[in-house]
Structure 1
Amino acid sequence: MAGHAPVGGHPAQHSFAPRGGALPAAVDARGSRISSGGGPAGRPRPVTSRARVSVPASSGNLGAGFDVFGLAIDVRDEYQFEPSSRDSIEPAGKFLKHVPRDTRRNLAFRAFRSLAPAAAGPYRLHAVREIPPQGGLGGSASAIVGGLVAANHAFSLSLTDDELLRRATEIEGHPDNVAAALLGGLVLTVQADDDLHAVRVPFPDDIGIVVVVPGYHVPTARARAVLPTNVTRSDAVSNLGRSAMLVAALQTGRYAELRVATQDFIHQPYRAELNPALEPGVQAALDAGAYGAALSGSGPTLIAFAPKDRTMRVAGAMADVAIDASSGCETYVANAAETGAAVMEPLAST
């Protein structure tokens, strides 16, 4: 995308401890340490840097990859931070009414402040919200990553992707969406004791993505609460096989296998009662020619993978189901976002 620059080099594999361990000290553009008292001699230092960041939406789970798979989708929010006379938030975009204007509640602003040095004065956030707010497309992950990347750039902190991902996971509580929003593409995250490992996998560019967002809302906390504490061995094995099959199908071009690979046994059956569009929506997508379809995150959003010449047909079929199940829907035909969070040229001050 013109005007976008990746946050930094994205190695194929990331490994770090999500809890504990100090982040590098904040430094300014010249490499001088920024202490809590301001400049190197303790004198207050005015911070005047601006930062503008574009962050993609993301879909978690993709069926069987519960809390492991995250896919960046090229619907993007933007966050521009600039020095101001007071802390404030200016919302814009299609879903501007869903941008919290209280700086204590706004996730992007809170994430930005969590990395800002004590010398940083008041800031104004111009937030452009294009990611649907109903749930299932990583809106909170986008905000968190946007705030962290903006602070990293504005204050020349030089934090690595691993460090940013660790901080984002601590704020979000789970890594799948924030990993995709930060790194782009398809990202697999695995927790091993206190370490978190993230591997980015290229997503085929000949697969179209259809996203349908029903008009009802499913709170993430409620969607988590309906899940069982334990699962059967057969369900666990079924999900293991399907999650491995999904990666293999994408990498070998055997897309027809996505019909089975996007099936799930450990979260979607339990969340169906909260998502009336889920089961009929998935079936409608398959009947219309999709390779596979699943609940996006905890819902209510649905995601389908289809040949690019069938995406509009699939979108129409899924939208009909969503409209029947709710007061309306948002429908998107999109591509995977191979670029994750990207620093952009700041817009002129308003």
Structure 2
Amino acid sequence: MAKIIIRVPATSANVGSGMDSIGIAFHLYYTVIVEEATEKWQVNHALGSGIPNDENNLMVQTILKVDPTIHPHQLTVISDVPIAHGLGSSTTAVVAGILIANALGELNLSVADEINLGAKLEGHAENVSAALLGNMTISTFDGEQAKVVNAQMPKVEALFYIRPDGISEVDSRKKLPETIDYQTAVRASSLTNVFVGLVCQGKWDEAVPLVEDDQLHEPYRKDLVPELDVIREKAHELGIYGTYLSGAGPTIATFGEHTKLVELRMALQKLNLNGSLRILTVDQEGATVRGE
């Protein structure tokens, strides 16, 4: 094959109280074209000066962690996934790196192997598993092995409010408490269990309002994203119940029917919020690898 083309979907994590556990893939993509072998790694992209073009690039670092013997190549990245915005931008690079290493090194990794590698690199499995499998994934990771359930979702859409300024996951995690009380833990667990159960039964309309009652991260991060309450209130006025903080923020997602989401987008545009608004559908395929 003269070229290998990798496509990885963006992911939205921490859905409801599914902290570091529930992830959903969306139609927003990080695409990498693996081109000719070179003397040194060269990563061509238009993602800004903060993203390295050489072996220090996260994708290249991932390739070499999976297989240090892989020869350098020229890689061209075309990405619509905003960096540090709670849509899995680092995960797309990590997953692409794993898939490139698997292809160039002829490693014959299984999807389970790829998920475990990604989880070890990221510390949790929900973004990696959702990016690789598509749809919604529910995962747990003990530091060595990830266990993942891939739940088929209906063809739902979400309106994403994407602020121009990002939030680093490190800064966002500093907002989280070291401990929570027992009753809060029980409440969070029950909400997540029922949400997952309803999704697996195909009862999406009953499931989606539960994403608004997060107990584990939204209460501590809300001050970083003041638009969250504004968007949720406006959605409720339109009868839409499905707004949550995506990942570590600052992106906010609202699930709903297309016509309702168009109404919500128009209403939010009138508020002149400092961000972009995009309606995206759930990706049901996951990451792909093809040759040319």
Normalised to the residue count of structure 1, the TM-score between the two structures is 0.77
Q: Contact conserved, 1:51 with 1:154, CA < 8 A, in 2?
A: no
Describe the superposition over 1:279-314 as per-residue Cα deviations: whole angstroms up to 9, x where unpaired. 222222232332311000010001111012212122
Match of 2:280 in 1: 334
C-alpha change, 1:202 and 1:252, in structure 2 (3 Å) is closer
Partner secondary structure for residue 252 of structure 1: coil
Is 1:68 aligned to 2:26, yes or no? no
Structure label with greater radius of gyration: 1
Superposed displacement of residue 239, structure 1: 1.3
Flag structure 1 segments of 5+ consecutive residues without an equivalent: 1-47
Asked if residue 160 in structure 1 is aligned to residue 114 in structure 2, the reply is no
Q: Does residue 1:278 correspond to 2:228, yes or no? A: yes
Residue 111 of structure 1 pairs with residue 62 of structure 2? yes
- Could you tell me which of 75, 87, 99 is aligned with 2:41? 87
User: How many residues are aligned here?
Assistant: 290
Tell me how far 1:177 sits from its aligned partner.
0.8
Query: Is structure 2 residue 8 aligned with structure 1 residue 55?
Result: yes
Tell me how far 1:194 sits from its aligned partner. 4.5
| Structure 1 position 188, deviation (Å) | 0.5
Match of 1:345 in 2: 291
Q: Give 1:161 shift.
A: 0.8
- Once the two structures are TM-superposed, the CA of residue 274 in structure 1 deviates from its matched residue by 1.3
| 1:107-155 CA-partner distances (Å, limit 9, x unpaired) | 112112223452x432111011210124100000011001111221223
Q: How does 1:250-269 map to 2 (within 5 A)?
A: 250=199, 251-269=201-219
Q: Residue 342 of structure 1: CA displacement?
A: 0.2
Contact 1:285 1:317 in 2 (8 A): no
Matched, 1:230 2:230: no
CA distance in 2, matches of 1:78, 1:226: 32
- Name the CA shift for 1:89/1:252 in 2 (closer, same or farther; >3 Å): closer
Contact 1:145 1:181 in 2 (8 A): yes
TM-score, normalised relative to structure 2: 0.91
Whether the 8 Å CA contact 2:158–2:280 is kept in 1: the answer is yes
Does the alignment pair 1:171 with 2:117?
A: no
SS where residue 101 of structure 2 aligns?
Answer: helix
Q: Deviations over 1:314-345 (max 9, x none)?
A: 23344556x43xxx312221111111110133
Q: Does 282-291 or 220-229 show the bigger shift?
A: 282-291
- The answer to whether the 8 A contact 1:315-1:331 is kept is yes
Pair 1:337–1:257, CA change in 2 (3 A):
closer
Mapped partners of 2:20, 2:72: distance in 1: 36
Q: Offset of 1:86 from its aligned partner? A: 3.0
Partner of 1:123: 73
Identity of aligned residues (%): 25
Seen in structure 2, the aligned counterparts of structure 1 residues 289 and 98 have a Cα distance that, compared at 3 Å, is farther
* Residue 167 (structure 2) pairs with residue 218 (structure 1): yes
State the alpha-carbon separation in 2 of the partners of residues 98 and 196 from structure 1.
Answer: 34
Q: Secondary structure at the match of 1:56?
A: strand
